[in-house]
Amino acid sequence: MQEHLSISKATVDRLPRYYRCLRQLTDEGVEIASSEELGRRLAINPEQIRKDLAFFGQFGKKGVGYYVAELKESIGGILGLDQHWNVAIIGMGHLGAALANYQGIARLGFRLAAIFDANPVVIGTRVGERRVEDIAYLAEIIAERDIQIGVIAVPAAHAQGVADQLVAAGIRGIWNFAPVKLRVPPSIPFVSEDLSVGLSALSYYLTHTSAEDGELSDKNLTN
């Protein structure tokens, strides 16, 4: 989307939060919501919400608010959630199994198309409706099932090798959970989730919270 190249990463990172909030409002039966209501739920300045949305078009009606279902659909389209991406998870340890069983992935429109591991003990077992397959056949299965996103849930020592295999197989995007910085071509977007970094940051804020107020004050750890 060439016209959106100037949009900041911070704005893009807030879009999934808007989408999740709108989905919750839909579940609650709310049809119209103001930027003030969204801001209250998300702890984001309403002006910032209006500014973020303005990058992508005109939404809502002045003096009325946003039509929740319409805005949710629009943001879902901006995020590409209407494309129904096929996903493969590599690594069936505790984290990989948890991700494979996470229903939120399917609810966002992602389809778990394959699960891979190198351990003969794990290969052939089932996780939900999927059978764990041998990583030796990764390239063949990715092409056969038109898989676009690879999720890396292997130990750090093996993550780069898995990333290289995914790139060679023609994967289009990578979601990395291994605590290591990956080297991938610039043409392949990837997101890293380092759980140790998040916990360490939380530990820092807890350590530096004053005993008097007993809270994190203005520290918003989720952006």
Q: What is the tally of structural domains in the chain?
A: 2
Is 214 part of any known ligand binding site?
no
Is 4 part of any known ligand binding site?
no
pLDDT tens for the 223 residues of the chain, in order: 334 457 888 898 899 999 999 999 999 999 999 999 999 999 999 999 999 999 998 898 888 899 999 999 999 999 888 888 999 999 999 999 999 999 888 888 899 999 999 999 999 999 988 999 999 999 999 999 999 999 999 999 999 999 999 999 999 999 999 999 999 999 999 999 888 878 888 888 888 875 545 544 444 544 4
Q: Do the domain assignments include residue 204? A: no
Q: Do the domain assignments include residue 218? A: no
Report DSSP letters for 28-78, one per residue: TT--EE-HHHHHHHHT--HHHHHHHHHTT---SBTTTBEEHHHHHHHHHHH
Task: Mark whether 42 and 100 lie in a shared domain.
Answer: no
Task: Mark whether 167 and 184 lie in a shared domain.
Answer: yes
Is 93 part of any known ligand binding site?
yes
Residue 27 and residue 90 in contact, taking contact as beta carbons nearer than 8 Å: no
Is 1 part of any known ligand binding site?
no
Task: Mark whether 144 and 109 lie in a shared domain.
Answer: yes
Is 94 part of any known ligand binding site?
yes
Task: Mark whether 64 and 93 lie in a shared domain.
Answer: no
Q: Do the domain assignments include residue 20? A: yes
Task: Mark whether 183 and 91 lie in a shared domain.
Answer: yes
Is 95 part of any known ligand binding site?
yes
Which is nearest to 111 in space by CA: 151, 140, 138? 151
Task: Mark whether 90 and 60 lie in a shared domain.
Answer: no
Rounded CA-CA distance 15/76 in Å is 9
Domain that holds residue 11: 2-81
